[in-house]
Amino acid sequence: MLILPVGLILQTIDAWLFSTTYRIGWDSTNFAPYFISGAFVAGTGALVTVIYVVRRVKKLENYITDFHFDKLGKLLSLACIIYLYFNINEYLIPFFTAKQAEMTHLDSLLFGHYAPLFWFVTIGGLIVPIIVLFFKKGRKPASMFAIGLIVVIASWWKRYVIVTPTLLHPFLPIQGVPEAWRHYFPSLHEWLITAATLAMCLLIITILVRYLPVIPIQRTADEQEQLKTGKNLES
């Protein structure tokens, strides 16, 4: 249970660090719940994805059942709804203020260079999961795995959408620089660092699943005892 308050504290501090920079796109009191709800969405999506893979590889269909995926689907749907609310709130405030810099930033997100990514993370990572998970068939293991994977990918790109467009709106005008400097795309080294980080996370999860019990030992022992008791009664 200690991980929950620690996560809330870290996400809140991270959000405040962004807000105190007074940069366009980050200057918002909405950032703390915005980051926290986003972390819950990404974490639940990753949990669903990992559980599905472990369930298939370890043959744990009798322990991790459709009931568990149904409950996780409802939790993920609720997290997506809350995060969608804070997303709407985050972009409505600049529309009300109608400052030129804010409107330029929103235009680049909604209709400009970053529009495809923005609409992918909004529609694919939030709206579509909410609609699919509303139905019971959408909360089956296979569909939950697909939704969880999409949510994780969209959550990762969401961080890119939060950080990069804001950094392309400097405090002072950019003059006399190459046109390539006005836009950003990750270099090969950045892609390799990202891939290595993902590989390290997967390695840690694999080691934990390999050497630690996925199902509580006491539950397994109780079920084995029940099986022995049933066989003795039959004999």
pLDDT single digits (tens) 134-155: 998 889 999 999 999 999 999 9
Q: Concatenated DSSP letters for 164-204?
A: HHHHTS-SS---SS-GGGGS----HHHHHHHHHHHHHHHHH
Closest C-alpha to 52, from 41, 65, 43: 65
Q: pTM (2 decimals)?
A: 0.81
Q: What would the two tokens of residue 83 be?
A: 């995060």
Mean predicted lDDT score pLDDT of the chain: 82
- 36-68 pLDDT, tens digit per residue, is 888 889 989 999 999 999 888 888 888 888 888
**Which region among 16-20, 33-37, 80-84, 175-179 has the lowest average model confidence (pLDDT)?**
175-179
- CA 66/CA 139 separation, integer angstroms: 8
**Stretch 203-217: mean pLDDT, rounded?**
84
**Stretch 147-176: mean pLDDT, rounded?**
81
- 173-192 pLDDT, tens digit per residue, is 666 666 666 677 788 998 99
The DSSP 8-state label assigned to residue 125 in this structure reads I
| Helical pair 66-97 and 100-110, crossing angle rounded to 10 deg | 140
Q: Are 149 and 106 in contact (CB under 8 A)?
A: no
Q: Are 80 and 42 in contact (CB under 8 A)?
A: no
- CA 136/CA 189 separation, integer angstroms: 43
Of 116 and 167, the one with more pLDDT? 116
- CA 8/CA 14 separation, integer angstroms: 10
Long-range contacts of 96-104 (CB under 8 A, 24+ apart): 101/24, 101/169, 102/24, 102/25, 104/24, 104/169
Q: Could you tell me the residue ranges of all domains in the chain? A: 3-169, 190-235
Q: What would the two tokens of residue 94 be?
A: 């600049």
User: Which class for 124: exposed (0-12), middle (13-18), buried (19 or more C-beta within 10 A)?
Assistant: middle
Instruction: Please check the confidence at residue 224 and state whether its pLDDT lies above 70.
Output: no
Query: How remote is the C-alpha of 77 from its chain's centroid?
Result: 12
- CA 172/CA 186 separation, integer angstroms: 23
Q: What would the two tokens of residue 207 be?
A: 């080691």
Query: How remote is the C-alpha of 112 from its chain's centroid?
Result: 24
